Structure 1
Amino acid sequence: MAVTISDVASAAGVSKGAVSLALNGHAGVGDQTRQRILDTAKTLGWTPSLRAKSLRSAKAYALGLVIAREAKLLGSDPFFPAFIAGVETTLEKHEYTLVLTVATEPGAEERCYRKLADGGRVDGVILTDVRHDDSRIALLRRLGLPAVTLSRPAVPSPFPAVCMDDAAGITAAVEHLISLGHTRIAHVGGAQVYIHGRSRRRAWESALSAAGLATDLFAEADFTAPGGVAATARLLARKDRPTAIVYANDLMATAGQSYAQTHGLNVPADLSITGYDNAQFARYLNPPLTTIAADPLAWGRQAAAMLLAQLDGTHDGGDLVLGPPRLVLRGSTGAVPPHAVPAVAGGRYQHISTAGT
């Protein structure tokens, strides 16, 4: 049974009212009595009732996170488990809980936010998968829900953001491949409706353009393994197939690497591959995956801390920019294959693979 205020009062030889005053830091009890009550509560293992505290303060002591993904895909994406773990490590220090909702049906996402606000179930929300023309920003403003966004939205937003320059990671990956002699470098990107999906594609395009290389090898996917396989298949079916592929996350890269190997290509002798996220499993692939370390655990910690600061009035209103992601070199990238014959087309270099033709 949980230790109650009555238990503390009985053990300390005081009234319940005195215990309440002492435990809540209010005047009305002497210093010696207050200390005796606090010592007794600690000895008995008393902890405050979050429910009672919530009723007194009109706060829910909870933050919301709505994820618009298929439930069966959520566990396979390495970003969200690490991100949620980061959020939880911050909340547990502040007596807050996380209310996680998965929205899978059309219109369900907006209903989830309305339910969280109307029922007073949360004090604020963390907004992930920020989109271009993101209608959720206006919705949260109407609902009066404080929020923190992951990345700065393209639409006007009153909410602070936790940002990371993911373009720096993609640029590093492309430049690494160019240094290995690759000129036909493809990109399997995430859905372009997302801010981070589009920014990673633009970084890939910019890095290639800066080197005078073509940017015609793009395949849009959805950050899932099946999407990564389908996009890889389209790229490798081309006559001018790439000698290297930069993926927008590790999950698609892993699926693409498996697809390529299953269809007779050696990684990296025939095809170099890079991922993004530095998921734990990436180092155990065969070969281990060259990837971008982005630290979703830190994203979660900082997003939760920023929202809590906003709720208690200590946040300065500015965005937080995390350190740039770093390129982690492993065995999935290597020199351009010798059978990739350089040719010039329209003033730009390309590699035409003669293998299998």
Structure 2
Amino acid sequence: MKVSIFDVAKKSGLSVVTVSRVLNNSSSVRQSNREKVLQAMRELDYHPNASARSLARGKTGIIGLTLTTLHDSFLDAVVKEVNDRLAGHGYFLALSISNRYDDAFHRSLFQEDRVDGIILLSPLEEDEYVMELKKKKIPFIMIDNSQRNSSVTSVIVDNYKGGYEATKHLIELGHTEIAHIGGSSSFLSSKERERGFLFALEEAGLTPYSIEKGTFEISSGYRIAKQWIESGKMPSAVFAADDYIALGVMDACKNEGIRIPRDLSIVGFDDQVLASELRPMLTTMRQPAEKIGSAAVELLLGVMNDSAKRSVTIQMEPELIVRESTARKT
């Protein structure tokens, strides 16, 4: 027979009300009585119904996280850190993966009785998310938001500095014909990396070899590099807006006998797992995934505990990781 709260009360010699207060961590229970209840629970192997306790507290014990893809080791690392940190605070993580705000399942996560809070990771259609979450009064924060939104608590990376440092590295190696392949313009990170690229060149008195519009995919870098190769005109160096673009460029060059870094130097962004597993290993700007995930959880818990708390933005610094895909211009 299933053990109930009444059995615990009888075993401990205390009232059901006292047992209930212990289960809900009430501070009004004397320590001696708390110990009696806990001892009775151990002896009876009693485990309170989590759903019932959540309903009683008006909490679900679940945090939602939305993102557009899991085919990305950087995002994977952020999600893992968020999951581990939340588990340490007694929360479960529920994922919703979609690149469309109006996806029915995606939006079903935004219900007051389903989650205690939401983390938006690199959201598209950002305004719609913000409007609905504020309307429903669900606590939320954003990671890598696509707009400069001071009314939303967020964690971002200094992508401008990342673009600047990546390009400066190539300039210091003696490169003057430097191209940039950008990511989707719907992401603020893409625009900021390009802005950093342009400033580094301007500071050095250089002009871009070219600026190409791409997407955060290997096929994008491959396609653009093939166009350069077929035209017979190649830059001496490339700053790619992410590692996947950079790996696509490297693949196209390898197939055509163009040697990296002897014939072409290239820098990526993110420090994906593949960046250090393929040869030559990719020089890249590393995003601090663990720090981002940890900061996001602490910010969300703060918003959940105080809905009137002033919005803040935490900015993380990227780090240049020099490997084998860049070399001095000969």
Identify whether the pair has TM-score above 0.5, normalized to the shorter chain: yes
Q: Which residue of 2 aligns with 1:103?
A: 98
Distance 1:308 1:93, change over 3 A: same
Kindly indicate whether the alpha-carbon contact (under 8 Å) linking 1:132 and 1:194 is maintained by their aligned counterparts in 2: no
CA distance in 1, matches of 2:246, 2:7: 58
TM-score (norm 2): 0.87
Cα gap change, 1:85/1:47 in structure 2, threshold over 3 Å: closer, same or farther? farther
**Counterpart code for 1:52:** A
Residues in 1 aligned to 2:273 and 2:234: alpha-carbon distance in whole angstroms: 29
Change (3 A) 1:67 1:151: closer
Is 1:252 matched up with 2:245?
Answer: yes
Can you give the 5+ residue segments of structure 2 that lack an aligned partner in the other structure? none
Q: Once the 2 structures are TM-superposed, how far is the Cα of residue 130 of structure 1 from its aligned partner?
A: 4.6
- Structure 2 residue identity aligned to 1:108: D
Label 1:147 to 1:284 Cα distance change in 2 as closer, same or farther (>3 A): same
- Shift of the 209–293 alpha-carbon distance from structure 1 to 2, 3 Å rule, reads same
Q: Which residue of 1 aligns with 2:283?
A: 290
Aligned mates of 1:129, 1:78 — CA distance in 2: 14
* Alpha-carbon spacing, 1:137–1:32, altered in 2? closer, same or farther (3 Å): closer
Mapping of 1:179-328 within 5 angstroms?
Answer: 179-313=172-306, 316-328=309-321
- How far did 1:279 drift? 2.2
Indicate the residue corresponding to 1:21 in structure 2.
21
Matched, 1:170 2:163: yes
Q: Distance in 1 between matches of 2:16 and 2:153?
A: 43
Note the C-alpha offset of 1:211.
1.2
Indicate conservation of the 8 Å contact 1:66/1:112, yes or no: no
Q: Is the 8 A contact 1:282 1:289 kept in 2?
A: yes
CA contact (8 A) 2:101 2:128 kept: no
Name the counterpart of 1:86. 81
The question of whether the paired residues in 2 share the 8 Å contact of 1:309 and 1:315 is answered with no
Q: Distance in 2 between matches of 1:328 and 1:108?
A: 38
Q: Does the 8 Å CA contact 1:83/1:299 hold for their aligned counterparts?
A: yes
Q: Provide Cα deviations, 1:111-135, integer angstroms capped at 9, x if missing partner.
A: 4454223463122222222568744
| Equivalence map 1:149-160=2 (5 Å) | 149-151=142-144, 153-154=146-147, 156=149, 158-160=151-153
Show the counterpart of 1:353: none
Could you report, residue by residue, the CA deviation over 1:225-263 in whole angstroms, capped at 9, with x for unpaired residues? 222222332344444321111112222222321221121
Whether the aligned pair in 2 keeps the contact of 1:83 and 1:297 (CA below 8 Å) is: yes
The letter for the 1-side match of 2:198 is E
Partner Cα separation in structure 2 for residue 292 and residue 251 of structure 1: 13
Judge which range, 172-181 or 32-41, deviates more: 32-41
Are the aligned partners of 1:130 and 1:195 in contact in 2 as well (CA < 8 Å)? no
Change in Cα spacing, 1:131 to 1:186, as seen in structure 2 (3 Å) is farther
**Are the equivalent residues in 1 in contact too, given 2:150–2:313 (CA < 8 A)?**
no
- Of all paired residues, the percent bearing the same amino acid is 30
Question: What's the offset of the Cα at 1:317?
Answer: 2.3
Give the Å deviation of 1:306: 0.8
**Residue 267 of structure 1: how far off its partner (Å):** 0.8
**2:102 partner amino acid:** A
CA distance in 2, matches of 1:58, 1:268: 58
Cα shift at 1:314: 8.0
Q: SS at 1:327's partner residue? A: strand
For structure 1, which runs of at least 5 residues remain unmatched after alignment? Answer: 339-357
TM-score where L is the length of structure 1: 0.81
- Greater shift in the superposed pair: 150-159 or 271-280: 150-159
- Give 1:293 shift: 1.4
Match of 2:57 in 1: 57
1:155-201 per-position Cα deviation (integer Å, ceiling 9, x unaligned): 65522111221221221111111111111111121101111111111
Determine which of 322, 330, 342 is the counterpart of 2:323: 330
Structure 2 distance, partners of 1:269, 1:330, is 14
Match for 1:81: what amino acid? D
